[in-house]
Amino acid sequence: MRQIVTVFLLLTSTALMAGEAELLVYQVKEPGVDNYVSRILVNKRYLRLDEGGEPDAGYTIYDRQEKKIFNVDPLEKTVLEMNPPAFQPAPPADLDLEEQVTTDPDSPAVAGQQPVKIKLQANGETCRELVVIKDTLTGAVSAMKELYQALARLQYPAVGSPGYTENSCELSEYIYAPQRAFLHGLPLWDVMGGKQRMLVDFKDAFEVPDDTFAVPDDFER
């Protein structure tokens, strides 16, 4: 695991003095694919998401200040730049969103916090179940919420088009309320559909190379 966590892509790019970042590492299980690692690095300006742990794998940079998303492909030497619209869609009247929050006083504390169980529902259907802790890596939690809200703004214009999903859970989690998963704290365990994410490592001050959050200048956009 340590070997996977410390893999960094050293690319020719504009160097940014990153210094330290908050680190989250999730083990991900989903049907039809081998288990893989999802690593998230966050500082005040950027979020970086690496999935798979391979040195030549693509990664995503989210510029929290400019509200832009960059998908970087080192193999193809390309960068896909996405500019989410400013409009954040609100849930329609016929989408009833509810949540259940429970605590288990017998569960062991994590980082000094008591885990809380969250069940997210849409129109009476359970969409997502999480175990979270409060007041831990709050910067990373906020950045993830910002990223998924930005992705929702990108996808919203397709709602109502032919073939688009009418599934209440997918609409709530990907379009109208993606922030719900991060409102109660840091997810330790996150299950949605057949996909399961389990936190296996985290640090509030993880040293990173200077170019960790850089978008390569010499890649085709």
Per-residue confidence (pLDDT) for residue 13, from 0 to 100: 36
The pLDDT of residue 55 is 65
Specify the DSSP class assigned to residue 124: T
50: exposed, middle or buried (C-beta count within 10 Å: 0-12, 13-18, 19+)?
buried
Q: Which pLDDT score, from 0 to 100, does residue 128 have? A: 97
The fraction of the chain above a pLDDT of 70, given in percent, is 91
* Residue 147 banded pLDDT, cuts 50, 70, 90: very high
Q: What is the predicted pLDDT for the residue at 5? A: 38
Encoded amino acid at 188, one letter? L
Q: Rounded distance, CA 108 to CA 132, Å?
A: 12
pTM: 0.87
Question: In 3-76, where do the E strands start and end?
Answer: 20-29, 36-42, 46-51, 59-63, 68-73
141, containing H or E segment: helix 138-155
**C-alpha–C-alpha distance, residues 158 and 97, integer Å:** 21
The pLDDT confidence band at residue 97, using thresholds 50, 70 and 90, is very high
**Beta carbons of 74 and 58 less than 8 angstroms apart:** yes
Look at residue 212 and tell me whether its pLDDT is greater than 50.
yes
Confidence bin at 165 (pLDDT 50/70/90): confident
- Is the separation of the CB atoms in 195 and 43 below 8 Å? no
Give residue 14's pLDDT band: very low, low, confident or very high (50, 70, 90): very low
* Dihedral of the alpha carbons of 30, 179, 18, 14, in degrees to the nearest 10: 80
